[in-house]
Chain A
């Protein structure tokens, strides 16, 4: 016994494959009974950019995928693609009853600043305050120059105290002097809300330094 070497990396052959690794085959494999087959299908679809319907198939699968390891790969593939269907699918997940899926969608969208920027206004104006809170969560680490102005807009206009509180918390981390007047206005608008008083005071302290 001891050390052994294979002189070359053994290629993965098509032998034993249930389905071809083409567009139709990979989309079909997303619904395979075996989670490993589903995960590999989602992974291989990353490289298959010319595959009509694949982003939609990934989004559909994501909504009902029970296996965490498959979900992670689907989310990464959708993030790497970042096309309109992928982003719309992630937005759809924000309304899911599944908390883990919602959080995963928020994390994925944080990686897509250019794609999320055009739709963030709509998300911040969604009728559902939970979706608005998730939108603020996306801003947390979205690398985009407008993050602060979006947050200022939230604390100036949003009627829901929890949405404003989430935005004020975040302004304490990413805000500058530009947010100072809006934070003061928020304090006045929710003068009877202890958490808003606390969050704005903290944010103002951090901003002033």
Chain B
């Protein structure tokens, strides 16, 4: 039988986890959280939640916190999810970025959260298939996640039927090989993305992320509370070049989070732009 998690334990953990990751669990997530906490108490051979919590807080390596974070984060996505934004990228955003560029440096795209890689790889495939500029410009795709297990999975590039169900069949045939456990992404695409571990709520983690032209941060900020969301918006502001844009999930709006960005209404999608000049 798994150890019990009391109301007080849940509150203590919720507060701690929020401070560390910016992710806030509502009371409705109690079962989800309790179950995972109880499993970790048992697996780590701690005698109860209290001793496990002490380990979690004071362990110098932070290894257990990382394991728990991996368990607590939601990783659900698929190839070509919200495809209209990729259309917007190739038809509207990139042409504008290219026309503004004064150097021959790479166009830099940051995708966070990476999850199991469907989104950054979708961008790479989309650029290869639909953007002629790929012949003229270098593109660097960096994709980050707080969950190290999911990053390893992303690097591997092995996907289930569900992950690829939105892909047009010709693209599935072109870039994937059917294997016993699902679909293996080809090495040419796997090599287009650099995966990194980043906690978006840790300013020390995000500090090196700068000079991006485009950020994709879809369906992540919905898990954050207002202050963490605002801090994340400020991180993206500093990560973008002037004129760079951020694409959020279809139900998210930067206007409700921060006034730092300008709304850009392209025919395909609404995105948020860092002003060219600071105000």
Which positions in A face B, CB cutoff 8 Å? 1-7, 9-12, 35-36, 39-40, 43-44, 46-47, 67-69, 72-73, 76, 79-80, 110-111
Interface-side segment among B3-11, B36-44, B129-137:
B129-137
CB pair A46–B278 under 8 Å, yes or no, is: no
Task: Give Cα A4–Cα B207 distance, bound, in whole angstroms.
Answer: 21
Q: CB of B200 within 8 A of chain A?
A: no
Most buried by B among A3, A5, A7, A110: A3
Q: Closest approach, in angstroms, between the C-beta of B264 and any C-beta of chain A?
A: 17
**Which A residue's beta carbon lies closest to that of B208?**
A9
- From B49-57, B77-85, B159-167, B226-234, give the one contacting chain A: B226-234
- Sample of 14 further A-B pairs with CB below 8 A, known A43-B238, A68-B279, A72-B258: A1-B137, A1-B138, A2-B135, A3-B193, A4-B106, A6-B142, A9-B196, A9-B208, A9-B209, A35-B278, A69-B279, A72-B230, A72-B259, A111-B227
Option from B194, B207, B279 in Cβ contact (under 8 Å) with A6: B194
Taking a contact as CB atoms under 8 Å apart, the answer to whether B203 and A12 are in contact is: no
In the assembled complex, the CB of B12 is this many whole angstroms from the nearest CB of chain A, namely 15
Inter-chain contacts of B196 with A (CB < 8 A): 9
Name 19 interchain pairs, CB-CB below 8 A, sorted by A. A1-B136, A1-B137, A3-B193, A4-B138, A6-B194, A11-B208, A12-B210, A35-B278, A36-B278, A39-B234, A39-B238, A40-B238, A43-B234, A47-B203, A67-B278, A67-B279, A69-B260, A72-B260, A79-B227
Report the Cα distance A48→B232, complex, angstroms. Answer: 18
- Nearest to B188 among chain A residues (CB) is A3
Look across to chain B and name the residue whose beta carbon is closest to the beta carbon of A110.
Answer: B226
**Residue B76 at the chain A interface, CB threshold 8 Å:** no
Q: Give the Cβ gap from A146 to chain B, nearest Cβ, in Å.
A: 19
CA distance A56 to B136 in the complex (A): 51
- Interface of chain B, main secondary structure: mixed
For B194, give its contact among A5, A12, A35, A43 (CB under 8 Å). A5
In the assembled complex, which residues on chain B have CB atoms less than 8 Å from the CB atom of A73? 234
Number of cross-chain contacts by CB at 8 Å: 78
Contacts of A72 in B (CB 8 A): 230, 234, 258-260
Chain A CB within 10 A, most for which of B135, B138, B191, B203: B203
* Distance of B245 from chain A, by nearest CB (Å): 16
Give min CB distance, A204 to chain B, whole Å: 30
* Chain A residue contacts of B139, Cβ below 8 A: 2-4
Q: How far is the CA of A171 from the CA of B237 in the complex (A)?
A: 37
Interface: B141 (CB within 8 A): yes
Chain B positions within 8 Å of A46 at CB level: 203, 231
Contact A44–B203 (Cβ < 8 Å): yes
A68→B124 contact, CB < 8 A? no
Contact check: which of B191, B208, B227, B259 meets A3 at CB < 8 Å? B191
Contacts of B124 in A (CB 8 A): 3
Of chain B, the residue at the smallest CB distance from A5 is: B194
Q: Does B64 contact A (CB under 8 A)?
A: no
> Is there a chain A Cβ closer than 8 Å to B204's Cβ?
yes
Contacts of B137 in A (CB 8 A): 1
| B192 interface hit (Cβ, 8 Å) | yes
Q: Which residues of A contact B231 (CB under 8 A)?
A: 46, 76, 80
**Residues of chain B lying within 8 A (CB to CB) of residue A5:** 140, 191-194
Task: Indicate if the CB atoms of A3 and B278 lie closer than 8 Å.
Answer: no
Closest chain A CB from B221 CB (angstroms): 14
Top-10 shortest CB links A-B: A3-B192, A5-B194, A9-B208, A35-B278, A4-B138, A111-B227, A68-B279, A4-B140, A73-B234, A76-B231
Q: Which B residues between 136 and 161 are near A, CB-CB below 8 angstroms?
A: 136-142
Residues of B within 8 A of A110 (CB): 226
CB within 8 Å for A69 and B140 given contacts A9-B196, A12-B207, A12-B208: no
Chain B contacts of A10 at CB under 8 A? 208
Q: What's the least CB distance linking A107 to chain B, in Å?
A: 8
Closest-CB distance, B218 to chain A (whole angstroms): 21
Contact in complex: A3, B138 (CB < 8 Å): yes
What is the bound-complex CA distance between A6 and B193, given in angstroms?
10
Q: Give chain B nearest CB distance to A113 CB in angstroms.
A: 12
Give the complex CA separation of A69 and B137 in angstroms: 31
Give, as a whole number of angstroms, the nearest-CB distance from B155 to chain A.
12
**B208 contacts A68, CB within 8 Å?**
no
Contact B260 A2 (CB under 8 A): no
Shortest Cβ gap from A3 to chain B (Å): 4
User: Which residues of chain A have C-beta atoms less than 8 A from B141's C-beta?
Assistant: 3
Q: With the chains together, A134 CA to B253 CA distance in Å?
A: 25
